Amino acid sequence: METLIVKDSSTQQTSGSPAFAQRHIGTDAPAQAHMLATLGYDSVEDLVAAAIPGAIHSDLFRTEGDNALPPAATEPEAIAELRLLAARNTVKRSMIGLGYYDTFTPAVIKRNVFENPSWYTAYTPYQPEISQGRLEALINFQTMIADLTGLNTANASMLDESTAVVEGMLLARRASKGASRRFIVDADALPQTHALLANRAHALGIELAVLPLNEETTAAELGEYFGIFVQYPAASGRIWNPAGVIALAHEQKALAVVAADLLALTLIASPGDLGADVAVGTSQRFGVPMGFGGPHAGYMAVRKGLERQLP
């Protein structure tokens, strides 16, 4: 593997200063000596040799002159290497979408929200004062999610949209009264969501049925299931009315999970108006920078009666 560490006079460690690793990672020499004496070992190498079984110790697999790790870098050298790695990133125009959309952040928002220290004060996050920046930001976020989704309760965010959909599936499994272990998945959903659903469903013994959903979908086509997932608008950009499919789910005593684009919800009917039980998605649409793919804060909102099922 190519080594990117660059050494010159500007990146040499200051004489007499401790090594980068010693200052930032683990214990210092006096603490190590005390710990080793207490444990009865002369060196860290002796401790490692005693703690790791010989059959898997890396020394057995090394050849002469082979180093498992490169020599330790100083802090300036580490920074120089990270800058070289960062310089490899290229920023290009996104033409794909699929749940990630570039945004423009006005300078006034960037300065007064993102760079305003009042939003991340030193106070502990469990203090009840509404004036605390973090609590105010969370209630604003949850209120906005509840308003746009048309549902009663929103949590304080998820990891991203795909994991939020998985949590929606698990919520439907917990709250469903039926015995079925089958979950219907919209074929026109985001590919990353399909992948994560398949991964978690396999581990939990849930059967996924990927079907093309539309206004003409019938109960006979769906069969038995405990929940159904709809992408709204669809990954292809198609905007359709899933109210009929959601009604079919309720006839089965199943729950409907809708992944909705927050920005689109300013113009189209909300999941709550369509009868959805759970709405999920990403808040990247609120203007969060791309960040080379995230993750960005996901969201989840539920109808009345499912509040205690929220993750």
Instruction: Check residue 136 and give its pLDDT.
Output: 80
Q: What CATH number is given to the structural domain containing 167? A: 3.40.640.10
pTM: 0.70
- Same domain for 82 and 112, yes or no, is no
Query: Is the model's pLDDT at 9 over the cut of 50?
Result: no
Alpha-carbon distance of 241 to 84, in angstroms, equals 49
Please give the share of the chain, as a percent, with pLDDT higher than 70.
83
- Same domain for 119 and 244, yes or no, is yes
Please give the share of the chain, as a percent, with pLDDT higher than 90.
57
Instruction: Check residue 21 and give its pLDDT.
Output: 64
Instruction: Check residue 114 and give its pLDDT.
Output: 76
- Same domain for 20 and 144, yes or no, is no
In a domain, 100, yes or no: no
- Same domain for 70 and 208, yes or no, is no
Last residue of a domain, one of 86, 118, 142: 86
> Among the listed ranges 112-121, 221-230, 232-241, which one has the minimum average pLDDT value?
112-121
Query: Is the model's pLDDT at 293 over the cut of 90?
Result: no
Q: What is the mean pLDDT of the chain?
A: 86
Provide the pLDDT confidence category of residue 26 given band limits of 50, 70 and 90.
Answer: confident
- Same domain for 58 and 140, yes or no, is no
- Same domain for 198 and 248, yes or no, is yes
- Same domain for 73 and 124, yes or no, is no
- Same domain for 34 and 71, yes or no, is yes
Q: At what angle do helices 44-51 and 29-39 cross, to 10 degrees?
A: 50
Higher pLDDT pick, 16 / 220: 220
Query: Is the model's pLDDT at 3 over the cut of 80?
Result: no
- Same domain for 48 and 158, yes or no, is no
Instruction: Check residue 68 and give its pLDDT.
Output: 64
pLDDT, mean of residues 64-69: 61
- 165-201, pLDDT tens digit by residue? 999 999 999 999 888 999 999 999 999 999 999 999 9
Last residue of a domain, one of 86, 121, 150: 86
Instruction: Check residue 7 and give its pLDDT.
Output: 44
C-beta atoms surrounding 245 within 10 Å: 26
Provide the pLDDT confidence category of residue 303 given band limits of 50, 70 and 90.
Answer: very high
Domain that holds residue 20: 9-86
In a domain, 97, yes or no: no
- Same domain for 75 and 130, yes or no, is no
Higher pLDDT pick, 211 / 138: 211
Higher pLDDT pick, 127 / 203: 203
Query: Is the model's pLDDT at 16 over the cut of 60?
Result: no
> Among the listed ranges 72-81, 133-142, 147-156, 216-225, which one has the minimum average pLDDT value?
133-142
Instruction: Check residue 67 and give its pLDDT.
Output: 62
Higher pLDDT pick, 144 / 60: 144
- 83-106, pLDDT tens digit by residue? 999 999 887 776 667 888 888 888
In a domain, 93, yes or no: no
Residue 271 preceded by cis peptide, ω within 30: no
- Secondary structure, 3-state, the chain: CCCCCCCCHHHCCCCCCCCHHHHHCCCCHHHHHHHHHHHCCCCHHHHHHHHCCHHHCHHHHCCCCCCCCCCCCCHHHHHHHHHHHHCCCCCCCCCCCCCCCCCCCCHHHHHHHHCCHHHHCCCCCCCCCCCCHHHHHHHHHHHHHHHHHCCCEECCCECCHHHHHHHHHHHHHHHCCCCCCEEEEECCCCHHHHHHHHHHHHHHCCEEEEECCCCCCCHHHHCCCCEEEEEECCCCCCCCCCHHHHHHHHHCCCEEEEEECCCHHHCCCCHHHHCCCEEEEEHHHHCCCCHHHCCCCEEEEECCCCHHHCC
Number of domains in the chain: 2
